[in-house]
Amino acid sequence: MKRKIFSVLLAMMLMLSFSLMTVAPVAASGASAGLQIVNNGSATWSGDQAHSGNYSVELSLPNSGTRVTDSARVAVSFDSGPLLSTVDSLSFWWRAESGSGLPYLYLALDTDNNQEADRWLIWNIGPADDTGGSTGGWVQWTLATADDNWHIAGPDGPYSSTGIWTDLVADIAVINPDSVVVEVKVAIGEGSTNLGTPVYIDDIGVNDAVYNLESSGDVDMEVPVLADAVSISLDTASILFAGVYPGDTVGDNFTITNEGSVRVDLSAETNSGFYDDNLTLNTQSVGSWSDSIAEGGNLLVNLELYVPHGTLAGVITGTLIIWVERSETQP
């Protein structure tokens, strides 16, 4: 009589975690802030610079050194915008280095009440106090009635001639006194020279409201990810072979079940030279046997033991050890 005992190596479970952070922009209630680009412009939320709060918008263009068609903008879009005739205050804060593109502001107007902009009131680049750009500090631009750098654009043609704010508002009121401001944008590019240095924009003011370009707060997320579970079970803890004469072969079998979460690879060894030399698992010697079991699967293992002539009568004991590891090939 001979017997075997099975052993199994099991893997530990590990807990891992990771965090993701997202940033969502907001402005004052009734409006939202969005970023827009044309061609190679770049508009991003910046946590490095802020006039208020923790964020501003960084606008930049490629360093072409010439007038470009690229543009980068931040737009405050209104859920229900004010009538143009009621707008008497406009402002924004900007921060730049020498050589930055100069920011400009414009209003997207809906003059025919279809909720889509069809004309634009543009404060053109070039007020004398801003042409040199800022030199590193935050500067506020505000609507000044004397500035005659305003234009009307759209719907079909190029800019109108320049004028002061109140005159051009009056011109649009002739088209429709109920023209609505859909968006207020601050932009760089689209015809202006730029040397590749970013401009930061924050706190766009329209009448009594200031739209702080800001994060709504970080959303921290966390998910625990379990390590792959490598686990098998055997349907028996011992095998007692029937008595056998030297020169004969005796057999038995057992089943291995994959209890884990992944496909596993199997191999085996024994603690006995006798079994190493004379036992086969599914016709393979112990040392060369290997197999795999998919998640949830099982495997029938047929054992055959040959007892050579000359083997002394008695009981030969040993242990068959099944090794299991996560398969490199997973479905």
Spacing of C-alpha 291 from chain mean position: 39
Stretch that binds Ca ion, among 45-53, 95-103, 235-243, 277-285 (CB under 5 A): 45-53
- Residue matched to tokens 């088209």: 175
Shortest Cβ distance from residue 117 to Ca ion (Å)? 6
Stretch that binds Ca ion, among 51-59, 189-197, 256-264, 323-331 (CB under 5 A): 51-59
Residue among 92 and 275 whose Cβ is closer to Ca ion? 92
Under DSSP, is residue 286 helix (H, G, I), strand (E, B) or coil? helix
Shortest Cβ distance from residue 115 to Ca ion (Å)? 7
- The answer, yes or no, to whether the previous bond of 224 is cis (omega within 30 of 0) is no
Site for Ca ion in 276-315 (CB under 5 A): none
Shortest Cβ distance from residue 114 to Ca ion (Å)? 4
Residue among 2 and 95 whose Cβ is closer to Ca ion? 95
Are the CB atoms for 46 and 55 separated by under 8 Å?
yes
- Picking from 117, 205, 104, the residue whose alpha carbon sits closest to that of residue 149 is 104
Shortest Cβ distance from residue 182 to Ca ion (Å)? 8
Pairing outcome for strands 290-293 and 180-189? unpaired
Residue among 47 and 246 whose Cβ is closer to Ca ion? 47
Residue among 116 and 129 whose Cβ is closer to Ca ion? 116
Shortest Cβ distance from residue 119 to Ca ion (Å)? 8
Q: Is 329 in the site for Ca ion (CB under 5 A)?
A: no
Q: Which residues sit opposite 223 in a β-bridge?
A: 18
Shortest Cβ distance from residue 130 to Ca ion (Å)? 21
Residue of 33, 35, 43, 50 that binds Ca ion (CB under 5 A)? 50
- Residue matched to tokens 């802020």: 50
Site for Ca ion in 105-124 (CB under 5 A): 110, 112, 114, 116, 118
- Residue matched to tokens 């490598």: 230
Residue among 213 and 293 whose Cβ is closer to Ca ion? 213
Are the CB atoms for 262 and 330 separated by under 8 Å?
yes
Are the CB atoms for 118 and 189 separated by under 8 Å?
no
Number of residues engaging Ca ion in binding (CB under 5 A):
13
Site for Ca ion in 187-226 (CB under 5 A): 202, 212-214
Residue among 28 and 294 whose Cβ is closer to Ca ion? 28
- For 165, the enclosing helix (H) or strand (E) is helix 165-175
Site for Ca ion in 54-73 (CB under 5 A): 55
- The DSSP-derived string for 120-158 is EEEE-S--TTTTT---SSEEEEE--TT---EEEE-SSS-
Shortest Cβ distance from residue 212 to Ca ion (Å)? 5
Residue among 176 and 311 whose Cβ is closer to Ca ion? 176
Rounded-to-integer distance, Cα 308 and Cα 244, Å: 10
**Burial of 179: CB neighbours in 10 Å, binned 0-12, 13-18, 19+:** buried
Shortest Cβ distance from residue 222 to Ca ion (Å)? 27
**Burial of 203: CB neighbours in 10 Å, binned 0-12, 13-18, 19+:** buried
Residue of 42, 52, 292, 311 that binds Ca ion (CB under 5 A)? 52
Binding site for Ca ion (CB under 5 A): 50, 52-53, 55, 110, 112, 114, 116, 118, 202, 212-214
